[in-house]
Amino acid sequence: MSEHHGRVLLLDGAVSTELERAGVKLDPILWGAHLLLLNTEPISKVHLSYLPSLEGFKAYKKEITEEEVGQLLRKSVKLAKEAIEQVNKEGSQKQRYVAASVSSYGASITYLAGSAKEYSGDYFDDSSYLQPLLKENKTVEDLVFESHLNRVKYLLMENPDFLLFETIPALKEVQIICEQVLPVVEVKQTKILFSFSCKDEGHIGHGETIEECCRYINKLGDKVFGLGVNCVMPSQIPPLIEKIHNHLDPTKTIIVYPNSGESYEAKDNSWHSPQEQCSFEHQFVPFIVEWIKQHPNRNIIVGGCCRTNPLEISKLSKSLSNK
């Protein structure tokens, strides 16, 4: 969900992190999306405190059908809308929006790959671990197309304000979405956003430069609302946002939402805290508030990704209000 601050939209923070803090055991395939099958109340509570993929669901619950997955995806948008309605009934006057999140294909194949491929996009280079899915002469490109189409068509049925393709590691994946998926669905008034994962301060996960990504999006005109990065370290935001600002069409919106600054150790599922000055609160918040002041003509969406929490997003909101 996002909240309006003039030319700045405030995005929420991590959902699965808050579910885990509330005592929910995350699923290794679906993170917190398995609650759409079991109990949606914790999801609604997280939405309120801030103010999933087809392959993943099938791996979690083998007998589930595509239609059932579609209904769960639609439910995810409905829950966010219901949370907004509840806050509005309580007297809030702020304008709020729903951004339906669509993860990269890599995030849906962790159970096959054994690692988080949304940060590398190497499934376009080495598809050996995808052999169980590559049937009937299908290519990796076919799998990426089908995965996004199967989610997008259902999410759009609920008319979210934004369709946010996030943690995308490869430009080729964006090209498949823009050139093959979006032309065959009914987008209506939903605004399209792309957010990339990055390997360093100038390249996205698969290796393409952020400038290349901007140039491609610019060619699409008003079909795409904006571009940015997510799930990067707060320290990577300053050089990345400058590159995006300098190369992205000035009429388009930039979206940035880094993680908490903590590093993840997959071996024991643990997080390690950064030095205080490198954290979301102490590095990203003051930086982005000042950056917004210095770029009065650029529309921007800001928020948090992994391990950020409602308190940090609240502080960001207050800092934006006081700028």
Q: Find out whether 76 and 40 touch, Cβ atoms under 8 Å.
A: no
- pTM, two decimals, is 0.85
Q: What confidence category does residue 70 fall into, taking pLDDT thresholds of 50, 70 and 90?
A: confident
Instruction: Please give the pLDDT value at position 157.
Output: 96
Residue 107 CA to residue 127 CA, distance in Å, equals 15
| pLDDT band, very low/low/confident/very high, at 124 (cuts 50, 70, 90) | very high
The number of CA neighbours under 13 Å toward the Cβ of 54 is: 21
Between helix 66-89 and helix 140-155 the angle, nearest 10°, is 40
Helical pair 285-294 and 310-321, crossing angle rounded to 10 deg: 30
Chain segment 274-309, per-residue pLDDT in tens: 666 678 989 999 999 999 999 999 999 999 998 888
Neighbouring CB atoms inside 10 A of 71's CB total 13
Enumerate the H helices of the chain as residue ranges. 15-21, 35-38, 41-49, 54-60, 66-89, 110-113, 140-155, 171-176, 210-219, 237-247, 285-294, 310-321
